[in-house]
C-alpha cells in the first residue's frame, strides 16, 4: 500500500490561502505588472529634482510608495502560486517575471538615495521640521546617515540593482532542483507499507514511531540530495560569490559585516551566538543519552534524533492546534486572539496541508495591502502545531506593524521577526505544560520543545558556522565544492552529536548533505543565526508575558508595532531584553537543559 499526496487541484479550497484577495486572477496580475512598468518613466522624471523643494521630495516618496505597494502585491501573488506547485510552469514564469520587474523598479528608483545624500542631511532635517508631509521621516534619514559611506553614486546604484536579478539565479536553480527535480524513493515501514517522501512529508516521517520508516525516509531524502550535490554546491558557490560581490561593491571588509551593518546589528552579536552554542554542546550530548535510553536503543543513529518517544503519537488536528495556540497567547489580549483565530480559521491566511509539488518548509508572507499569509504543510501532529504557532507569530507581527506604522516603517528586520515567532511557540508550550498533567502528553510537549531547540539551537547555529566558514573560504579565493561542504557540515554535526550518536561512514555523507537540504536559508546572507537570537529573546520575555504582567505585555506589543521605526536592538530593549549581551542565549540554553532534566524524569518514571 502506497500513501501518497493529493494533486493541488484536489485540495479543499477552504484549507488554501486566499490568493483571490490579492488579485482576482492572472489577468489582473498581468495588468498590475504592466502598470508598474508603465510608471517607470514617471519615476525617472524625479531624477535631479528631489532637492527642488520639500514638496518635490514628498511627491517622490508618495510616488515610489504607490509603485512599491503594487509591486509587493505582485510578488506575493506570484510567490503563492509557485510555492504550492513548483511544477506549474506558468507560475514559474510569473515568478521569474516578478523578479525582473522588481529589478527594473529598483533600478528606476536607485538614484534617489544618492541624490538625497547630495542634498545634505542638515537640509533634509530642516525640511522634516518644516513640512508636515515629511515629518515622519526622521528615523529614515538617521538610518541613511549611519549607512551613507556604503551608498554609491546613482549610476553604480542602478547597476547594483539591475544585477540583483541575474545574481538571484543561483538561489532559483537550487530551489528548482530541490522542489522539482529531486525524486525521492518511498519510505518503507516494518509493515511493508510505502510512504511518500516529499518536501511536505519528510518532517513527519523523521519523527515516526516505526524505526524503519525513519531510516528509509532519512536515507531516501539525503541520498537524493547527494545525487544532486555537485549542482547544488555550484549553486551555493554562486550565492556566496553574489554576497561577496555586493559586500565589496559597498566597501565592506566581509560578507558578515555587509549582512549585519544594514540592520544595525553589531558583529559581536553573531559571534556571541556561536561562542555560546559551542560552550553548551554538552547539553546536547546529555540529551542524546536521555533520548537513547527512552527509546530503549543500544545505539542512537542520526535518524533516531527526532523519533517519537511516546508509546502513541499525539494527534493534533488543525482546529485543535488553533485552539491551543489561541489559549497560549491569551495574555496578549482579546483583540489579538480574535484576529488570530479569524485569520487561521475563516480568513484563509493559511495554506494548510501538503500536496503534490508543494515546496518544502514554512513561511509567513504578505504585504501591507494583503493578508499576512502563511505557507506550511500541516501533518496533524504536535510538531505541525508548533510550526503553525511560529508562523502565526510572524503573521500577527506583520498584522500589527502594518496597521501601526506609515508605509516606510511597515517592514521589520529578520532579527525582530524571529522573536515574535518563537514567542508564540514558547507561550503555547507553557500553556500546555501548565494545563495538561498527563505524563505522556507532557513528554510530547517536551519533544516539541526539543524539536524546536534542535532546529534553532543545533541546526541553525551549525549552519551559521558553516556559512561563516564558506564565506571566509571564498574571501580567500578558495573553491566551494560538494566534497568540501559535505565534510565541513558532517564535522559540525558530529561535534554536536558527540559520542552519543553513532554515525556510520555512509550516514556521515548523509548528515553532510544537510547544507543542501536548506534550499533558501544559506542564500539569505547570514540569516540563520537569528533563529538562535530569536528563540533566546522570546524565552527571556515569555515568562513575564505569560504571567499577564500588563507592563510586560504592553512593552512587547509596542515592540511588535514598532516595526521599522526603531533600530532592532532598541526595540528589543523596549520589550525588556538586551541582545548585545550573551546572557539571553545562555539563559535559553539553561531552559533547554531544564527540559532535558524534565524529560529524563518523565521517561524514567514510566519504566
Which helix (H) or strand (E) segment is 194 a member of?
strand 194-195
The count of C-alpha atoms lying within 13 angstroms of the C-alpha of 55, restricted to the half-sphere facing its C-beta, is 0
Angle at 136 between CA 135 and CA 141, to 5 degrees: 95
Strands laid side by side in the 350-351 sheet: 350-351, 374-375, 363-364
Beta carbons of 500 and 549 less than 8 angstroms apart? no
What does the alpha-carbon distance between residue 117 and residue 256 come to, in Å, rounded to a whole number? 25
What does the alpha-carbon distance between residue 257 and residue 506 come to, in Å, rounded to a whole number? 37
Strand pairing category for 363-364 and 194-195: unpaired
What does the alpha-carbon distance between residue 510 and residue 222 come to, in Å, rounded to a whole number? 5
Beta carbons of 250 and 152 less than 8 angstroms apart? yes
Beta carbons of 496 and 458 less than 8 angstroms apart? yes
DSSP state of 501: B
Lookup: cell for 421: 515567532
Hey, which residues are catalytic here?
Answer: 391
Lookup: cell for 229: 550535490
How far CA 279 is from CA of 119, 211, 590, in Å, comes to: 49, 32, 12
DSSP state of 20: G
Residue 25 exposed, middle or buried by CB count within 10 Å (0-12, 13-18, 19+): exposed
What does the alpha-carbon distance between residue 559 and residue 553 come to, in Å, rounded to a whole number? 10
What does the alpha-carbon distance between residue 527 and residue 77 come to, in Å, rounded to a whole number? 24
What does the alpha-carbon distance between residue 134 and residue 51 come to, in Å, rounded to a whole number? 13
Lookup: cell for 401: 506593524
What does the alpha-carbon distance between residue 294 and residue 356 come to, in Å, rounded to a whole number? 35
Beta carbons of 178 and 360 less than 8 angstroms apart? yes
The count of C-alpha atoms lying within 13 angstroms of the C-alpha of 229, restricted to the half-sphere facing its C-beta, is 22
Query: Which residue spans within 227-382 are E strands per DSSP?
Result: 350-351, 363-364, 374-375
Amino acid at each position: 500500500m502506497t500513501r501518497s499526496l493529493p494533486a493541488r487541484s484536489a485540495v479543499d479550497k477552504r484549507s488554501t490561502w486566499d490568493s483571490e484577495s490579492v488579485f482576482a486572477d492572472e489577468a489582473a496580475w498581468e495588468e498590475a505588472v504592466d502598470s508598474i512598468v508603465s510608471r517607470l518613466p514617471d519615476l525617472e522624471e524625479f531624477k535631479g529634482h528631489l532637492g527642488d523643494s520639500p514638496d518635490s521630495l514628498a511627491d517622490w516618496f508618495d510616488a515610489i510608495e504607490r509603485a512599491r505597494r503594487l509591486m509587493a502585491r505582485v510578488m506575493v501573488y506570484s510567490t503563492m502560486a509557485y510555492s504550492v506547485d513548483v511544477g506549474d510552469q506558468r507560475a514559474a514564469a510569473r515568478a521569474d517575471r516578478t523578479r525582473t520587474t522588481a529589478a527594473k523598479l529598483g533600478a528606476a528608483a536607485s538614484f534617489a538615495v544618492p541624490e538625497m545624500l547630495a542634498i545634505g542631511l542638515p537640509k533634509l532635517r530642516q525640511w522634516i521640521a518644516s513640512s508636515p508631509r515629511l515629518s515622519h521621516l526622521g528615523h529614515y534619514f538617521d538610518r541613511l546617515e549611519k549607512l551613507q559611506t556604503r551608498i554609491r553614486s546613482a549610476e553604480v546604484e542602478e547597476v547594483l540593482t539591475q544585477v540583483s536579478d541575474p545574481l538571484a539565479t543561483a538561489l532559483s536553480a537550487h530551489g528548482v532542483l530541490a522542489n522539482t527535480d529531486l525524486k525521492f524513493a518511498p519510505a518503507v515501514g516494518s509493515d511493508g507499507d510505502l510512504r511518500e517522501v516529499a518536501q511536505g512529508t519528510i518532517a513527519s516521517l523523521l519523527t515516526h514511531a516505526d524505526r524503519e520508516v525513519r531510516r528509509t525516509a532519512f536515507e531516501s531524502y539525503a541520498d537524493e540530495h547527494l545525487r544532486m550535490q555537485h549542482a547544488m554546491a555550484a549553486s551555493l558557490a554562486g550565492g556566496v560569490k553574489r554576497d561577496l560581490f555586493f559586500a565589496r561593491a559597498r566597501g565592506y571588509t566581509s560578507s558578515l559585516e555587509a549582512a549585519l551593518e544594514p540592520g544595525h546589528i553589531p558583529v559581536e552579536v553573531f559571534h556571541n551566538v556561536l561562542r555560546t552554542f559551542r560552550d553548551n554542546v554538552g547539553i546536547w550530548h546529555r540529551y542524546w543519552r536521555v533520548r537513547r535510553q527512552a527509546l530503549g536503543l543500544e545505539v542512537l543513529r542520526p535518524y533516531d534524533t527526532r523519533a517519537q518517544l511516546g508509546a502513541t503519537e499525539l494527534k493534533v488536528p488543525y482546529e485543535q492546534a488553533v485552539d491551543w495556540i489561541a489559549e497560549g497567547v491569551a495574555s496578549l489580549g482579546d483583540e489579538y486572539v480574535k484576529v488570530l483565530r479569524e485569520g487561521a480559521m475563516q480568513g484563509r491566511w493559511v495554506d494548510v496541508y501538503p500536496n503534490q509539488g508543494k515546496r518544502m518548509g514554512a513561511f509567513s508572507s504578505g504585504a501591507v495591502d494583503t493578508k499576512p499569509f502563511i505557507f506550511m504543510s500541516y501533518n496533524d501532529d504536535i510538531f505541525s502545531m508548533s510550526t503553525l504557532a511560529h508562523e502565526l507569530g510572524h503573521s500577527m507581527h506583520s498584522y500589527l506593524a502594518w496597521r501601526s506604522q506609515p508605509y516606510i516603517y511597515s517592514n521589520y528586520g529578520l532579527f525582530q521577526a524571529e522573536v515574535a515567532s518563537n514567542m508564540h511557540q514558547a507561550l503555547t508550550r507553557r500553556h500546555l505544560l501548565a494545563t495538561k498533567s498527563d505524563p505522556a502528553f507532557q513528554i510530547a510537549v517536551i519533544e516539541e520543545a526539543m524539536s524546536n531547540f534542535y532546529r534553532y539551537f543545533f541546526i541553525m547555529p551549525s549552519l551559521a558556522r558553516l556559512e561563516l566558514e564558506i564565506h571566509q573560504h571564498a574571501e580567500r579565493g578558495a573553491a566551494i565544492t560538494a566534497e568540501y561542504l559535505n565534510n565541513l557540515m558532517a564535522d559540525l554535526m558530529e561535534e554536536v552529536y558527540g559520542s552519543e550518536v553513532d554515525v556510520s561512514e555512509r550516514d556521515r555523507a548523509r548528515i553532510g548533505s544537510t547544507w543542501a537540504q536548506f534550499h533558501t536559508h544559506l542564500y539569505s546572507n547570514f540569516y540563520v543565526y537569528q533563529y538562535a537570537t530569536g528563540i533566546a529573546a522570546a524565552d527571556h520575555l515569555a515568562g513575564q508575558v505569560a504571567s499577564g504582567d500588563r507592563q510586560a505585555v504592553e512593552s512587547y506589543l509596542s515592540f511588535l508595532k514598532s516595526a521599522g521605526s526603531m533600530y532592532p536592538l532598541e526595540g528589543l530593549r523596549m520589550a525588556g531584553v538586551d541582545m548585545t549581551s550573551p546572557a539571553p542565549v545562555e539563559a535559553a540554553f539553561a531552559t533547554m537543559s531544564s527540559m532535558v532534566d524534565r524529560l529524563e524524569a518523565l521517561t524514567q518514571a514510566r519504566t
